[in-house]
Chains A and B, each alone.
Chain A
Amino acid sequence: MQTPIVVQEVHKNFGEVKALRDISFTVNEGELFGLIGPDGAGKSTLFRILTTLLLADKGKATVNGLDVVKDYKAIRKIVGYMPGRFSLYQDLTVQENLDFFATIFNTTVKENYGLIEEIYVQIAPFKDRPAGKLSGGMKQKLALCCALVHKPTVLFLDEPTTGVDPVSRKEFWEMLQRLRQKGIAILVSTPYMDEAILCGRVALIQNGALLKIDTPQQITREFSKPLWAVKAKQMYRLIQDLRSFEDTDSCYAFGEYLHLTLKHGEADVDKLRAYLQPKGHEQFDMVPITAGIEDCFMELMKSEKQQ
């Protein structure tokens, strides 16, 4: 079996804009690989190159051993692609969309029903409804069914969970885990950092360049600085006080807490406490914590900028 996705030193410019800079990575068999980064990072451009819809300026990429330039016709038959923008036919019903995509790939819904069954049963009650009238979560499920209907060996999902609520997002990822177990290699992109943890490996991408490729566990393990979670009754005042402290390295809001790094780590803690003492913060709490993917991403963004 060929490696599902191999990307080697791919570059792409749009005029002055460097959309992709020297991108290299590999997605292995049965792997759920996440491309994590904000809007404009270059995720969709990379997807379009890998699905043979766009030519790279430089570099090489293969899907299942097939070259994205030379073998584009063969690639199109074996990959499933869910573009970022909802791209099913809004005026066709759920059932008609599925039949349409099956027919295009010279197959029938029945033939590969086993693969989509679990997802399809959730939208089956709406099978006669036009796709345009479905809710966000339902649209995503239908789009996934359409991308799977010809039993692809590699699946490309470009931001399938953007704008989708946390519950539907969770269900969607559970479906991806099961598809992965069926041996389908999946490349999925997302702007939600918390979804990184659900991938086998991830590449963090920002401004067209990869910041890091590894398992999410390893990435968080490599966070180099001691990190604290801090809170007090008046969070807005606390954030301003902490940012004015001379030895604060970074201070960001993270849900209920602020995440804080100090220039000299542990050595600054006593000084910080002494600095905060006269400010009289009520219900003050400061505990050491381990970093999450989002902490790492922000740290990597910062070092990227300094380079």
Chain B
Amino acid sequence: MQPIVTNALTKKFGSFIATNAITFEVKQGEIFGFLGANGAGKTTAMRMLCGLLRPSSGTAKVAGYDVYTQADKVKQNIGYMSQRFSLYEDLKVKENIRFYGGIYGLRNGEIKEKTERLLQKLGMEAEADQLVSALPLGWKQKLAFSVAILHDPSIVFLDEPTGGVDPVTRRQFWDLIYEAANRGVTVFVTTHYMDEAEYCDRVSIMVDGRIQALDTPRQLKAQFGAESMDDVFLQLARGK
């Protein structure tokens, strides 16, 4: 089963076409970079894929579920993390884990067991009773990512997970992404850092609601005769 399959997926707001007939697939265990300029339609597309927004036309299946008729199933079977909002700062580490476990419908026994395993894996046993607000940024991110995949989803959506983060923490976060992908978790990630586009197995670039390019970073650079993904992006987004 492919974690994401779309066909001519479209969203209109009045006469404005935010997402214009996008067709693509994401493979199991792949790190898929979803790029585009502000206003290109990324957020709209992502909201449809997460079951939060009903498409105007076209089809999409995420984690095997139809985004029209099984939106709740989609939500239960994906992970989601954004830089801006992911953990409750005024809850303890352990409370955050418990909260998300509950949201995803895990049983109490399961939550307890997963909490122990997760804290051990992150080396955060001593911090279990600390407020999240007291954690260093790098730890918060690790925790946020782990919590987003607590319910073992087959795919996790990361919406600009590294914005504003220091260069070392940003790279540590990518280590986590690599590790998860290596375990078979599919990762769908948006970013404004073009160097991060290079870490993806495949990258799509949206311009004005359409996917204008989709390939491996290497192929895209060859295709556009570009030195870096930054060049590819500038050529595409400016050449409209």
Contact = CB atoms under 8 A, between A and B. Distances in A.
B229 interface: yes
Nearest to B192: A165
B137 A39 contact: yes
Contacts of A135: 38-39
A163 B192 CA distance: 7
Nearest to A38: B166
Contacts of A294: 167
A252 B217 CA distance: 19
B167 A298 contact: yes
A37 B169 CA distance: 12
Contacts of B196: 255
Contacts of A38: 137, 164-167, 169
Contacts of B38: 135-137, 163-165, 168
Nearest to B35: A165
Contacts of A40: 137
Contacts of B182: 236
7 contacts: A38-B166, A38-B169, A136-B39, A165-B38, A239-B175, A255-B229, A256-B198
Contact of A164 (B192, B198, B238): B192
A250 B183 CA distance: 25
B37 interface: yes
B199 interface: yes
B166 A37 contact: yes
Sorting the interface of chain A by its residue count into under 10, 10 to 19, 20 to 34 or 35 or more gives 20 to 34
B237 interface: yes
B194 interface: yes
B59 interface: no
Contacts of B193: 192
Contacts of A162: 163-164
A297 interface: yes
Interface string B11-43: 000000000000000000000000011111000
B166 A167 contact: no
Contacts of A255: 194-199, 228-229
A54 interface: no
Given A40-B137, A167-B238, A236-B181, 4 more contacts: A39-B164, A137-B37, A159-B164, A191-B165
Given A236-B182, A253-B174, A166 B39 contact: no
Contacts of B197: 255
